[in-house]
A = this chain, B = another copy of it.
Amino acid sequence: MKADRQAPIGVFDSGVGGLTVVREIMRNLPDERIVYFGDTARVPYGSKSKNTVIRYSRQIVHFLETQQVKAIVIACNTASALALDTIEKEIDLPIIGVVKPGAQMAVETTQNKRVGVIATESTIQSGLYQQLITEADPAITVYGKPCPLFVPLVEEGWTKDPITEEVARRYLAEILDKDIDTLIMGCTHYPLLRSLLRKVVGEKVTLVNPAYETSQALRRLLRELDLENPGNDELGRQKYQFFASDGVERFNAFAHSVLPEQISDTKQVQIENY
């Protein structure tokens, strides 16, 4: 059976960070419908083990399948790094993560063959950014640095704060010393620190946002599979739907700071049941 072009894209993340990917899909693929799931009951994934992240991701994919999505985007760097490989073998739906598009853009961007990656501990430890980049171009050296305080600082709302800037200077000192010309913001929260990071890294370093690159990769994938939404959806179905495993009010409040429009009808899902 031909998949329904008007079916939504399923997007998931460990919590609210993946909304930066939703934002890019809304901007760049405005005809597509989206079903988003944020695992706010079990957030964060960035310090969890591979097996646990795979188990959690699998439950979410099962949930998204019940929503008749036509494709899935793992909008979480940690889950993309730890679970995509396993999950894509288990399902029939097309599925992409954020790591590969981010890695590809870094390969295209760097001139001096020195790339930095900032991300969660689990993403850095997985070595996937490093691996994909050096597979594409063995001449590139990749310097990774876990930045575990960035997510709580963003969630505290201190995105333009001198304390956050001080933390960023400390985290980045070592990789800036390596003379990188490209820095991947390898965690979905980090693009919310873009202007602060720009200040810390200076004008000569290009910041790569995997969220944007993923929206482009999704467009290519849908086109290839002839799954693009023709945009004449008159069925009155809700274009964007949001689900979370806990704290929907908190979710809505954070979403408001990321997305162009306010959302208020996020539904709670008991995700262990999937």
Q: How far is the CA of A247 from the CA of B120 in the complex (A)?
A: 15
Q: Which of A152, A170, A246, A247 has the most CB of B within 10 A?
A: A152
**Which residues of chain B have C-beta atoms less than 8 A from A48's C-beta?**
40-41, 246-247
**Which residues of chain B have C-beta atoms less than 8 A from A49's C-beta?**
246-247
Closest to A146 in B: B156
Instruction: Flag if B247 contacts A47 (CB, 8 Å).
Output: yes
Instruction: Flag if B166 contacts A155 (CB, 8 Å).
Output: no
A163 is an interface residue with CB less than 8 A from chain B: yes
**Which residues of chain B have C-beta atoms less than 8 A from A149's C-beta?**
149, 152-153, 156
Contact with B along A147-168 (1 / 0, CB 8 A): 0110111011000000100110
Q: How far is the CA of A273 from the CA of B250 in the complex (A)?
A: 28
Copies in the complex: 2
Closest to A51 in B: B246
Contact with B along A40-52 (1 / 0, CB 8 A): 1110000111001
**Which residues of chain B have C-beta atoms less than 8 A from A166's C-beta?**
163, 166
A118 CB → nearest B CB, Å: 14
- Choice from B52, B155, B163 contacting A163 with Cβ under 8 Å: B163
Q: How far is the CA of A166 from the CA of B41 in the complex (A)?
A: 30
A146 CB → nearest B CB, Å: 10
Instruction: Flag if B163 contacts A246 (CB, 8 Å).
Output: no
A272 is an interface residue with CB less than 8 A from chain B: yes
- Choice from B40, B155, B245, B272 contacting A148 with Cβ under 8 Å: B155
A182 CB → nearest B CB, Å: 26
**Which residues of chain B have C-beta atoms less than 8 A from A170's C-beta?**
163
A164 CB → nearest B CB, Å: 10
**Which residues of chain B have C-beta atoms less than 8 A from A153's C-beta?**
149
Contact with B along A55-97 (1 / 0, CB 8 A): 0000000000000000000000000000000000000000000
- Choice from B152, B156, B246 contacting A52 with Cβ under 8 Å: B246
Which A residues lie at the B interface, using CB under 8 A? 40-42, 47-49, 52, 148-149, 151-153, 155-156, 163, 166-167, 170, 245-247, 250, 272
Q: Closest 10 CB pairs between A and B?
A: A152-B152, A52-B246, A49-B247, A41-B52, A42-B42, A49-B246, A272-B272, A48-B246, A149-B152, A163-B166
